[in-house]
Structure 1
C-alpha cells in the first residue's frame, strides 16, 4: 500500500506544483474578492492536507477489486485540478477557470461516489476535498463576477 500511496501522492504533488509555476501575484492581489476569501496561508496548508487524504483514499481503493472506474475518476479530477491554476492564474481567464472548476467539482463528486461504493471510508475521505472545491468554485465565480471590467 505504501508504494501506491506514494505514487498517488506524486501525482498530487505534480498537480500542486502548478501553483509554484503560476503564482497569484500582484494581478490577483488587486482583484476584488469577497470578504470570506480565506487568508493566503490557508491555501497551501489546506491543499497539502487534501493531497495527503486524496492519495490515501486512492491507495485504499486501488487495492480493491473493481476499482478501475473509480481510479479513472480520480485521474480525471487530478488532471482538472492540475489544469485550473494555469488557466486562472497563468492565462488569467476567470470564466474558463470557472468551467474547469465546475468540471473538477463534478469529477470530485464522481470520485467520492465511486470510492464510496468500493470502500466507504475512502468515500468519506473525499468529502473535505469536495467541500474545499465548492469553496474554491464559489470564490472563482465571485472573483469573475466582481472583476469583469
Structure 2
C-alpha cells in the first residue's frame, strides 16, 4: 500500500469519526451572493434562538444524566467504576457530536475552507478533524475530572458553561462552514467560541487544576483558528462583520 493510499484511508477514517462530509469541489456554497449591505435580522434571530434552544436542550440532557448516574451509583449491582465509564462515554458523544442537539444546519464539510482564499500558513484541511479529535479526548478527560470533583453532579456551573461553549461552536460552524458568512463568522469565533473556551478553561482550572491544564490546549488551537478566520475574512473581501441579507434564486 503506497503512501497516498494510507493517507486516504486515514483521512476517510478521521472524517467519518468526526462527521466531516466531502462535497464536490465545484458544488456551490449553501448561500447566494449578497448584493446588499443590509443586516439579515432574520438570520440573527435564527442564530440566537437556535443557540439558546440548543443550550437548554443540553442542560436538560445534563439533568437526565445526573438522575441516571445517581441511580447507577445507588445500585450495588453495578461495579464502582461503571458510572465513570458511562459518564466518559457521554462526554465523548457530547464533545464529538454536540450538533445533534442543534436545530441549525451543522453539516461538517471542507467545502468553504477548500474554496476560500487562505493565508500561506493555513493548516491543511485534514489537520482540522485530527486536532478536533485530540481536543475531544481532552474535553472528555477534563470534564470527567470536573464531574468527579463536583461529586458526580452534572448541573454545575463548569459543565453548564461547557455546553454553552459547545453550542456557540456549533452556531459558528453554521455561519462559517454551511452559510459561508465570512464577516459574521469573525465576531462569533472571537467573542463566542474563543472567549467561551477561555472562560470554561478558567472555571475548570478553579474546580480542578489538572482539568484546567488538560483543557488549555483547546485555547491554543482556538487562538490559531480565530486568527485564521480573521485572515480568511480579510483575504476574501472583508465583508461587514454581520450577516448580510442574501438573495435566493
Q: TM-score, normalised by structure 2?
A: 0.55
CA RMSD of aligned residues (A): 2.2
DSSP-derived class of the 2:123 partner: coil
| 1:28 Cα deviation after fit | 3.3
Q: How many residues align?
A: 148
Q: Considering only CA atoms, is the larger Rg found in Structure 1 or Structure 2? A: 2
The whole-number CA distance in structure 2 between the counterparts of 1:96 and 1:3 is 38
User: Counterpart in 2 of 1:133?
Assistant: 222
Q: Does 1:142 align with 2:231?
A: yes
Are the counterparts in 1 of residues 201 and 215 from structure 2 also a CA contact under 8 Å?
yes
Structure 1: state its 5+ residue gaps. none
The whole-number CA distance in structure 1 between the counterparts of 2:108 and 2:91 is 22
Are the counterparts in 1 of residues 110 and 125 from structure 2 also a CA contact under 8 Å?
no
- C-alpha change, 1:15 and 1:8, in structure 2 (3 Å) is same
Are the counterparts in 2 of residues 50 and 129 from structure 1 also a CA contact under 8 Å?
yes
Runs of 4+ in structure 1 displaced over 3 angstroms? 15-18
Query: Which has the larger share of helix?
Result: 1
The whole-number CA distance in structure 1 between the counterparts of 2:202 and 2:115 is 38
> Which digits, 9 at most, give the CA deviation of each residue in 1:27-49, with x for residues without a partner?
53232211110111211111001
Match of 1:4 among 72, 80, 87: 87
Match of 1:45 among 130, 139, 161: 130
| 1:99 Cα deviation after fit | 2.0
| 1:16 Cα deviation after fit | 6.9
> Which digits, 9 at most, give the CA deviation of each residue in 1:34-65, with x for residues without a partner?
11101112111110010111111011101223
Are the counterparts in 2 of residues 5 and 56 from structure 1 also a CA contact under 8 Å?
yes
Are the counterparts in 1 of residues 99 and 167 from structure 2 also a CA contact under 8 Å?
no
Are the counterparts in 1 of residues 194 and 223 from structure 2 also a CA contact under 8 Å?
yes
User: Counterpart in 2 of 1:69?
Assistant: 157
DSSP-derived class of the 1:63 partner: helix
| 1:94 Cα deviation after fit | 1.2
User: Counterpart in 2 of 1:23?
Assistant: 109
- C-alpha change, 1:15 and 1:136, in structure 2 (3 Å) is farther
| 1:71 Cα deviation after fit | 1.0
The whole-number CA distance in structure 2 between the counterparts of 1:114 and 1:28 is 32
Structure 2: state its 5+ residue gaps. 1-83, 239-249
